[in-house]
Structure 1
């Protein structure tokens, strides 16, 4: 059964004309950069890069250190790291199901990998446990992975993407492309240390599923905690402009902190709130990684 993947492939075909599909394939194949292979280009040094990759001659002619990038021609591994906690049993800022959006992005990225002849694995879970799948390179396997993300709906545990990232740091020694699909959970010093460790070993991309704008909802549709669906925010709170303004400022600060942290660590990042944005955001993410994060 390939119900989920077939829907994703259909969306890619309908919403991406031929040139865009070629661009997606090309951008994906350029993500991997290895050693002792075909030289590709130069880019600015990013903290975590290996010293041996610095092109000292080019650096001498430039104001900042430059590192060599290579195109690797071998079978690679794509690790989809997905938060499948109850945090994803909610809606995005555009009002769509966050879990379905995560499945869409995982499916699109995984499908590009399978088309490229690479293996795909899934690392998913919540704050209480992490599950990792075997790595394989077939569409049937990718469908199975997407079904696992769907099957976690209704779990009773909160999310903690750091748990899944720490699992990779402790169990995976070979170089991979790690694509993280998370929501807008805060990234603090603990998460920063884990991400920095992974960034030094793996290619990393980060995709954020945006959370619902609670301050923008009307009192009649007051939001509730997915952990306690019977408990909503009091109408008296939802109707106070000062509360809305303070919440909006806090959310903006948290978003900027996440963007700044990922930029500092040299990780290309994008946000998505609606399925119609999926292909464009994925293309931008791959292109940004290819050129080096700005």
Structure 2
């Protein structure tokens, strides 16, 4: 199968699954997870599976013989920007996961983009890596969702991670109004608390961190050659040695813990996922937490 056909097949698979998940499992949580929901009534729309029943308008429902919910202007005005890391490490897929972190990220992004489209919200995309970035301004509709998925899936291995401060600067400059910025990455690059704070101050910032389980704990696999997908460098390791596996696990834990501490110190609600996970339950839980926070 040629590359173009492979990309189309992957896009179609992700699109079909994401459309189903967004419609059946996530509509209500997505809508109630926006900052400031309920401040300014805007319009009515038909009830969708997963909508919060608290927003059903019973008078309109009785008149129309079909359930309708209230919409709020704040929900519509806040765009969603999906910032997706396409650096070399995101293209990795172990035998345990059988799906790359990038395809997994594309599926998460597609569910969020479809949810935005179904709610009448604008959704945009920033894909970023080492040598280039590509920004798609926010727009409404399913065509925009398909374009977002296609751009993510078709992205090339873009070397090492881009500096997080550069990504934050791009997001602050390219999106003038406050938006919900959902950054999907493995966060293997160097952390920068000041850049995260800048991003969180300007936007409603949600990091989603994706890992392959074999990155966290190397298997007892004997002598192997490991290649860094970002630098291209190779190294020989004897994974039968427990001390080698433990050293790797400790280094990985410390690196991830630095990011975690910065997220928590800045009050940023983040999500940790592994490519072997069903991401829908934790994604729903994340937006449920946000709904409770904003309804206080």
Normalised to the residue count of structure 2, the TM-score between the two structures is: 0.74
**Residue correspondence of structure 1 range 12-161 to structure 2 within 5 A:** 12=18, 18=24, 21=25, 24-34=26-36, 37-38=39-40, 72-91=74-93, 94-155=97-158, 157-160=159-162
Counterpart residue number, 2:255: 254
Equivalence for 2:236: 234
Task: Give 2:13's aligned residue.
Answer: 7
| Cα distance change on mapping 1:186 and 1:17 into 2, 3 Å | same
Q: Which runs of 5+ in 2 are unaligned?
A: 1-6, 42-71
What are the residue-to-residue correspondences of 1:167-182 with 2, within 5 Å?
167-182=170-185
| Structure 1 CA distance for aligned equivalents of residues 10 and 79 of structure 2 | 21
Query: So what's the TM-score if we normalise by structure 1?
Result: 0.74
- Secondary structure of the 1:239 match is coil
Structure 1 gaps, min length 5: 40-69
Describe the superposition over 1:56-87 as per-residue Cα deviations: whole angstroms up to 9, x where unpaired: xxxxxxxxxxxxxx982434311000111222
Indicate the residue corresponding to 1:53 in structure 2: none
Alignment RMSD: 3.1
Q: How many residues align?
A: 254
TM alignment of 1:160-199, pairs within 5 A: 160=162, 162=164, 163-188=166-191, 191-199=192-200
Q: Is the 8 A contact 1:2 1:140 kept in 2?
A: no
- Quote how far apart the aligned CAs of 1:235 are: 3.8
Partners of 2:224 and 2:237 within 8 A in 1: no
C-alpha spacing 1:71/1:242, structure 2 compared with 1 (3 Å): farther
> Deviation at 1:261?
1.4
- Structure 1 stretches of 4+ moved >6 Å: 13-17
Q: Distance in 2 between matches of 1:284 and 1:96?
A: 24
**Stretch moving more, 249-258 or 109-118:** 249-258
Alpha carbons of 1:73 and 1:144: their partners in 2 closer, same or farther (altered >3 Å)? Answer: closer
Structure 2 distance, partners of 1:35, 1:110, is: 19
- Matching residue of 1:268: 269
Contact 2:89 2:229 in 1 (8 A): yes
1:215 Cα deviation after fit: 4.5
Task: Choose 71-80 or 140-149, whichever is displaced more.
Answer: 71-80
